[in-house]
Amino acid sequence: MLSGPTILISAVCALLAVLVLDRKLVNPWLTSRIAARFEKMPSFRVPVVEMDFTAEQVQFKTSDGVQLFGSLWNADHDHSPGLILFFPEMTGSRWLAPFYCSALIRRGYSVLSVDFRGHGDSECQMGYSPLHWLSEYEMLDVAAALEFVESHPRLSTLPILAYGVSRGGVAALTTGGRYPKVRGVIADSAFSTLSTMRFFADRFADLFLPRWLYRLVPEWHVQRTIRCAVASSEKARNCRYINLHDEVDGLESDRVLLISGAADTYITPEISASLTHMLGPDVRVWSVSQARHNQARDTATEEYDRRILEHAERCLLETTSAVPVEQTQVVSVNAPV
């Protein structure tokens, strides 16, 4: 019969063997498969839009030398109530601004929409292929846009609201967190990278492990593997993805409007709820019934325009008499992050 010390030593050795096996074989195998899934871009239904020749065309360079193109609406408006900095969705161009911002443009707001690098007319960056996950490269584009605004004699005096869709919504939230001059944010179909990855790890676990085995994996191991997969993708693509958890401290949650689709199968209501939880209980939330990803304005055009106008006025005009918002569907803030 084995003695107690012998059993303990055997157990420790077995545990060490399992950890080494996990570190050398299992984790690298899982990491590579999850990273491949992470980089697989969904099919996006981007609205078909045309160039708007009423807009003023602008261009400027980023700090790393990429030439960007943008369009300006109401730039010469004498009494513009504020500047809307619009960030298009993945594969979309700056010409989406009149579709999403038409009510704001009609109300007299100045709107600056920019093609991210590798999109529209902006230059591609050598060695970098953009994904639907926001990276620091896109935030260099945002920084260049803000520098252009600061150099513009009329725009530089206006209060700013950042507004974006999907990946552009992540850019809007990050911009609001990083730049104190940004006094409000509208994010349509936005998401947190790690929370989204965690959700889909549960949904598609069968692609990586048998379901019964996945249920036995401790939470810390799942989180570590996801972070390793993200880090692997960053290394392969020579970029760093934005983690919203690290960016939202500078946001005032009551100045953020989150719009999502209740029928969104990509950024699901659960993912949207986790973003709401991250931003805090005062965030303004609208879940659009029957809307799929990036389809909120198509689904409820008049209500969409009314809500973004009300939020812009509340944030940029410091008004306390904004039009009340009815039927707001508040997502639970108790969802896991």
Based on the fold, state whether residues 107 and 212 are members of the same structural domain: no
With respect to residue 214, please indicate whether it lies within any of the assigned structural domains: yes
Predicted pLDDT at 17: 43
pLDDT tens, per residue, the chain with 337 residues: 545 565 555 444 444 444 444 444 445 656 767 667 677 766 667 777 788 888 999 999 999 999 999 999 998 888 899 999 999 998 899 999 999 999 999 999 999 999 999 999 999 999 898 999 999 999 999 999 999 999 999 999 999 999 999 999 999 999 999 999 999 999 999 998 888 877 777 665 665 666 666 677 777 777 788 888 888 888 888 999 999 999 988 899 999 999 999 999 888 899 999 999 999 989 999 999 999 998 999 999 999 999 999 999 999 986 433 444 443 443 333 333 3
Based on the fold, state whether residues 85 and 231 are members of the same structural domain: no
With respect to residue 324, please indicate whether it lies within any of the assigned structural domains: no
Residue with tokens 């939880």: 277
Based on the fold, state whether residues 114 and 69 are members of the same structural domain: yes
Based on the fold, state whether residues 140 and 167 are members of the same structural domain: yes
With respect to residue 50, please indicate whether it lies within any of the assigned structural domains: no
With respect to residue 333, please indicate whether it lies within any of the assigned structural domains: no
Predicted pLDDT at 42: 67
Based on the fold, state whether residues 177 and 208 are members of the same structural domain: no
Based on the fold, state whether residues 250 and 278 are members of the same structural domain: yes
Predicted pLDDT at 205: 61
Based on the fold, state whether residues 84 and 213 are members of the same structural domain: no
Based on the fold, state whether residues 203 and 284 are members of the same structural domain: no
Predicted pLDDT at 297: 95
Predicted pLDDT at 1: 52
Predicted pLDDT at 14: 47
Based on the fold, state whether residues 91 and 204 are members of the same structural domain: no
pTM above 0.85, yes or no: no
With respect to residue 294, please indicate whether it lies within any of the assigned structural domains: yes
With respect to residue 329, please indicate whether it lies within any of the assigned structural domains: no
Domain of 183 in residue numbering reads as 56-192+243-316
Q: How many domains are there within the chain?
A: 2
With respect to residue 47, please indicate whether it lies within any of the assigned structural domains: no
Based on the fold, state whether residues 123 and 249 are members of the same structural domain: yes
Based on the fold, state whether residues 154 and 269 are members of the same structural domain: yes
